[in-house]
Amino acid sequence: MDSSCIQSTSSPFDCIVFDLDDTLYSSKTGIGQALKRNIDDFLVERFGFPGSQAPTLRAELFKIYGSSLVGLRSLGYDVDADDYHSVVHGRLPYDLIKPDAKLRDLLQTIKQRKIIFTNSDKIHAMKTLDRLGIKDCFEQIICFETMNPNLSKSTTPVVLKPSMEAMKTVIDVAGVDPRRTLFLDDNLKNVAAGKALGLRTVLVGKSIESIETDYALETITNLVQVIPEIWFSEEDDQRISHTKNEMDSILSATAVSA
């Protein structure tokens, strides 16, 4: 953390925790669709479910358990996590994810600690961050393996967002004060779980009003307009009164000099 930065020390946030998929890149890339297809294939190939029923089963597992892997194991299926990830993530068309220079510039203006918190496995997180060109913007990646360090027997429950245990993992592993930590995620259940543990929350992808979230953004690039206090103190009336255009010019100037 760059503690020499006056802006970050006067911000109400010490740390920004980012979900990865559908938060730092758009669900419209096609990756989300491919992921769903891969889960369907996994259900068919490994467990012999009829192909026509796989999409419905997948949707139900997601609705009830938050992920297919958690759902299958909860229902007593012996699913090897590495095998699951090798199919569901390993077969993704990663070339659909393009470098995002604008996002990189935005992240580099944020001087607080920045942490990735994803349900995905580490290989997927690293590949995706690499494709986006932002791998070096984060001090820590908290992922599937972090939440499930001793996963072996099929009976071991899988811990993932939105479980409270998963949310507690991020607070403990990152060593953050939840009241001074901003948590961004595209899944309202994850956001609600974070809020229940005292994190300041941001729903990404939908600008809706909800008691479960402190802020909502259409896309990650709206961060500057919606939460300028990441950069500036809430008490600092002069800075907080910067207009949207002034903030934009600060960001683009930083981008040019980077």
The residue ranges that bind Mg ion (CB under 5 A) are 19, 21-22, 186
* Minimum CB distance to Mg ion smaller for 111 or for 185: 185
* Minimum CB distance to Mg ion smaller for 120 or for 148: 120
Among residues 37, 92, 45, 47, the alpha carbon closest in space to that of 71 is found at 47
Q: Which residues pair with 202 in a beta bridge?
A: 184, 215
- What's the closest the beta carbon of residue 17 comes to Mg ion, in angstroms? 12
- What's the closest the beta carbon of residue 205 comes to Mg ion, in angstroms? 9
Among residues 94, 93, 95, 98, the alpha carbon closest in space to that of 133 is found at 98
> What is the sign of the dihedral through the CA atoms of 81, 82, 88 and 94?
positive
- What's the closest the beta carbon of residue 187 comes to Mg ion, in angstroms? 6
* Minimum CB distance to Mg ion smaller for 189 or for 239: 189
- What's the closest the beta carbon of residue 21 comes to Mg ion, in angstroms? 4
* Minimum CB distance to Mg ion smaller for 40 or for 186: 186
Which ranges constitute the DSSP H helices of 54-149? Answer: 54-65, 68-74, 81-88, 101-109, 122-132, 144-147
The residues, any chain, with a CB within 8 Å of residue 184's CB and separated by 6 or more, are 16, 17, 18, 19, 23, 201, 202, 204, 217, 220
Q: Do residues 128 and 20 touch, judged by C-beta distance below 8 A?
A: yes
Helix (H) or strand (E) holding 96: none
- What's the closest the beta carbon of residue 41 comes to Mg ion, in angstroms? 21
* Minimum CB distance to Mg ion smaller for 32 or for 198: 32
Q: Do residues 86 and 117 touch, judged by C-beta distance below 8 A?
A: no
